[in-house]
Amino acid sequence: MKSTRVVVIGNGMVGQRFLEELVARELSADITVFCEEPRAAYDRVQLSSYFSGASADDLSLVAPDFFSAHGIRLMLNESALRIDRERQLVIGSNGSEVPYDTLVLATGSFPFVPPIEGNDREACHVYRTLDDLDAIAASAKTSRSGVVIGGGLLGLEAAKALKDLGLETHVVEFAPQLMAVQLDVQGGVVLRDKIEALGVSVHTGKATQRIEAGDAQRHRLVFADGELETDLVLFSAGIRPRDQLAREAGLLVGERGGVIINDQCATSDPAIYAIGEVALWSGRIYGLVAPGYDMARQLAAHLAGDEAAAFCGADMSTKLKLLGVEVGSIGDAHGRTAGARTCQIDDSVAGTYKKLVLNAEGNRLLGAVLVGDTSDYGALLQYHLNDMALPSSPLSLILPAGDGKPALGVDALPDSAQICSCNNVSKGALCSAVSQGCSTMAALKSETRATATCGGCTALVKQVLDAELKRQGVAVNNHLCEHFAYSRQELYHVVRIHNIRQFDVLIRDHGCGHGCDICKPAAASIFASCWNDFVLDKPHVGLQDTNDNFLANLQKDGSYSVVPRIPGGEITPEKLIVIGEVAKKYDLYTKITGGQRIDLFGARVEQLPLIWRDLVDEGFESGHAYGKSLRTVKSCVGSTWCRYGVQDSVAMAILLEERYRGLRSPHKLKMAVSGCTRECAEAQSKDVGVIATEKGWNLYLCGNGGMRPRHAELFASDLDDATLLRYIDRFLMFYIQTADRLQRTSVWRDNLEGGLSYLQDVVIHDSLGLGAELEAQMQAVIDTYACEWKRTIEDPAALKRFRPFVNDYGPDESMVYVRERGQKRPMRSDEKAQALKIPVMETLS
């Protein structure tokens, strides 16, 4: 490196990465950094977490002693005012003059604020820095609602911030859809539907003409075709490169902005370079952090004398979670390549949309759009980046797991495959790091930076790590937590074999420390699966999570819901009346669930035993809606009433629900029984699905609904009642013995070596010789079943837990409700504020 004095203007994410790359190459240089903010580099990608509990220190990207340890001069609160190219000086806002041999512009971008009248009114903000966020939070304290102008990636991030602040949130977008750059039209429609379902109002095709004083709220946004009142406005309508310094210094800039650079990131002045969002390479501004990191890496290598170092563009594929909605965009998402073909799955029931863009021959992936479920993103990205041949049926790549979906094992990837795009980490680099001693994810992250930025590659990195360790003959660590050097499966066997019934004995003899919120609930579940003791007995009560602690589901306002068991969905008129009377007596919100039960919401903690008493006295029992256990067995009306039914599905559903009620497992369990192949009970979406045939029952296993649906697989056909029960007994106990903590049957099945045929060998053919043992263990659970509600109301010690305050038996007066559609619901924050005459933010503690 010829130069000895390096000046960097900007200490954002890309500027900081450039410094780290210089340090890593041990270059001998005098480095000075201009930073206009009062703090060093922080993670702008995770800015929205600032409103959900993260601190400025949590977001920091700089080790405490980084600058002093490496002799780098950091000038906080000082911006660069002017570049004197003749004298090679940078003049700072505090009057400093800093000479340079090499100058690097890492000034990034600024938020674009549309030039509309009223954009500078009070409580109109941009969303870019921590100072911006502090100003937004201050305005939110006196606001009820907020509007984000801009429905792109950054706009939806800003909308999450307003939601986290408790504001009624709107998004206003000029384009006819959300995220028009990354998503196609249908992807935008699905995203909008999901975001609106979360309580955010979306207004597309709206051009804001001016912002003026509102009547009921602080502002009124005036559109060509209407208006919208709000208290707070947040501009997030895109970014513009901060190229003013370069313009004033006479450097070449693009017609629409951005400092023009070559492959070595050099500007029109060979002593000045530009990286990140201020740089215009080949006519393009890159607005993601990964390309900026690559520029920083290539420039540092170039300055260190690497003649081959060059920035050659970047893939703009991205995977995000916006307002809790998963979104993925890969390559040519819009299918603009000549001859491009598409195939897609639009599942409006699951709320997911997946589209593949293929070349004319249909054997290469040009792009993809994923909304609602990005579980396929990693595999699809590898197909795209590595130009890998697609399977004969490309649509199979986006089918739910278990539907003939091909697996892309990491062994199929070349060493050159980029696993972490943010930090340009290849599979080969990961394997090399593992070979040199990195045996944990933490060590791999520290050595290679993989997963260190957005974390989207974590699952794939773990697969590479496990595969490489296995190839080297090293056992992969699957410990439950730091307190137990066992997997959940191994811990289950320790408990079963040593007849351990209490956590203090388990951790004393087979663990270390005092336990944590991972191992304690896991041990509680194992104890319940093995011995079926009352979960609120003194040795067990401290292990339970919130819901199991109170045998009810905690709701967002601090109240609980009560769900009595209704086996098979069958209920007499008398019992319906009982539920209605209980709901009326305690003023509970009632809702019929998708699992053919009735949910009663709004019960205070001290009311729970009273409600249970009324229900138990009339023959009801706990529905275990709070536990990782059997929830429901759904049924159609079967042959008793339906003209298509061939078996009594209701009787079978009741038999199954009463047989497996209270069974604790690694994750919740759902079942269904359909009386014919018309499948009205949706049995093929359950952990255990039973469908009637003319000859008996077909058994389906390991399905699930939810965010990532999976069809159950046909396990056995035309079974009689006894055989059906025997297979289910064996299957459930084998799952309980071998699954990981919080692992659904579908995920367990996908990870089961040998797949469906192996599971059939174990359960049907008893290949492991465990059949009789598994059946006996299930029978022990069945024989020891007791309703947990009934046990609680009969136990004076357990009843002491059910009061809102340790020193007061009175109700929790912070729970307040309003009437809506004839029933109560919790007050919203704005309603509380109005009722109590206090600012909204004071109600959010």
Angle separating helix axes 289-303 and 13-24, nearest 10 degrees = 30
DSSP characters for 63-123? -TTHHHHTT-EEEET--EEEEETTTTEEEETTS-EEE-SEEEE---EEE-----BTTTSTT
Look at residue 675 and give its three-state secondary structure. coil
Which has the minimum average pLDDT: 42-51, 396-405, 467-476, 633-642?
Answer: 396-405
Q: What is the helix (H) or strand (E) element at residue 759, kind and residue range?
A: helix 755-763
Helices in 454-589 by DSSP H: which ranges?
Answer: 458-471, 488-497, 503-510, 519-531, 538-541, 546-550, 573-585
Q: What is the mean pLDDT of residues 351-358?
A: 93
Compute the C-alpha angle 34/37/39, nearest 5°: 95
Range 179-194 average pLDDT: 92
Give the least confident one: 203-212, 394-403, 651-660, 741-750: 394-403
Per the structure block, which two tokens stand in for 307? 């003649």
Classify residue 454 by burial, with Cβ atoms within 10 Å: 0-12, 13-18, 19+. Answer: buried
Kindly state the tokens that stand for 64. Answer: 């405490």
Tokens representing residue 578 in the block: 């009982």
540 conformational bin, left if phi > 0, alpha if psi -120 to 50, beta if neither: alpha
Domains of the chain: 5-109+241-303 (3.50.50.60), 113-237 (3.50.50.60), 315-408 (3.30.390.30), 488-544 (no CATH), 553-783 (3.30.413.10), 814-845 (no CATH)
CA distance 571 to 573: 7
Asked if residue 423 lies in contact with residue 45, where contact means CB atoms within 8 angstroms, the answer is: no
The pLDDT assigned to 619 comes to: 93
Provide the 3-class DSSP secondary structure of residue 163: helix
Which residues pair with residue 355 across a beta bridge? 344, 369
Q: Closest by alpha carbon to 117, among 202, 203, 233? A: 233
Residue 682, phi-psi category: left (phi > 0), alpha (psi -120 to 50), beta (remainder):
left
Residue 827: band (very low, low, confident or very high) from pLDDT cuts 50, 70, 90: confident
Taking the C-alpha atoms of residue 835 and residue 13, their distance in angstroms, rounded to an integer, is 44
Q: Which of 229-233, 743-747, 766-770 has the highest mean pLDDT?
A: 229-233
DSSP string, 195-218: HHHTTEEEEES--EEEEEE-SSSS
d(CA 627, CA 552): 8
The pLDDT assigned to 419 comes to 85
Q: What is the pLDDT of residue 707?
A: 56
pLDDT grade, residue 405 (50/70/90)?
Answer: low
Q: What is the pLDDT of residues 429-479, one digit of tens each?
A: 998 988 888 877 778 888 898 887 766 677 678 788 888 887 877 766 677
Show binding-site residues. 636, 642, 676, 680
- Give pLDDT tens digits for 710-729: 888 899 999 999 999 999 99
Residue 583 clears pLDDT 60, i.e. is over it: yes
Q: Is 698 helix (H, G, I), strand (E, B) or coil?
A: strand
Q: Would you state the structure tokens that stand for residue 209, as one six-digit string?
A: 């003409």
Structure tokens at 381: 């990205």
Judged by phi (left if over 0) then psi (alpha if -120 to 50, else beta), residue 282 lies in: left
CA–CA distance, 823 with 736 (Å, rounded to integer): 40
DSSP calls for 399-412: SPTTSSPPP--GGG
Helices (H), 332-412: 377-385
What's the burial of 24, exposed, middle or buried (CB within 10 Å: 0-12/13-18/19+)?
exposed
CA 409, distance to chain mean position in Å, is 23
> What is the pTM assigned to this prediction?
0.57
Query: For 127-157, how does the pLDDT look when each residue is reduced to its tens digit (9 = 90+)?
Result: 999 999 999 999 999 999 999 999 988 899 8
- Sheet of 560-562: strand order equals 553-554, 560-562, 598-603, 589-592
Which residues are within 8 A (CB) of 306 and not within 5 positions of it... i.e. 6 or more apart?
none
Which amino acids are annotated as binding site for siroheme, given as ranges?
Answer: 680
- Annotated binding site for [4Fe-4S] cluster, which residues? 636, 642, 676, 680
Q: Quote the CA–CA distance of 212 and 220 in Å, as a whole number.
A: 5
The pLDDT of residue 838 is 41
Question: What's the pLDDT tens digit per position in 778-813?
Answer: 999 999 999 999 999 998 888 877 765 544 455 656
Instruction: State pLDDT tens for residues 84-102.
Output: 999 999 999 999 999 999 9
State both tokens at 216.
């009921």
Strand partners, 234: 125, 148
Higher pLDDT, 80 or 814: 80
Structure tokens at 27: 């270059």
CB atoms within 10 A of CB 338: 6
**CA atoms of 167 and 840, how far apart (whole Å):** 8
Predicted confidence at residue 533, as pLDDT, reads 86
pLDDT at 840 over 50: no
Q: Which pLDDT does position 1 carry in this prediction?
A: 46
pLDDT tens digit string along 10-65? Answer: 999 999 999 999 999 888 899 999 999 999 999 988 887 787 677 888 899 998 88
Largest CA distance in the chain: 94
When pLDDT is cut at 50, 70 and 90, the band that residue 410 belongs to is confident
Overall average pLDDT of the 116-126 stretch: 95
Q: State what percent of residues in the chain have pLDDT above 70.
A: 94
Backbone phi and psi for residue 432, each to the nearest 5 degrees, phi listed first: -65, -40
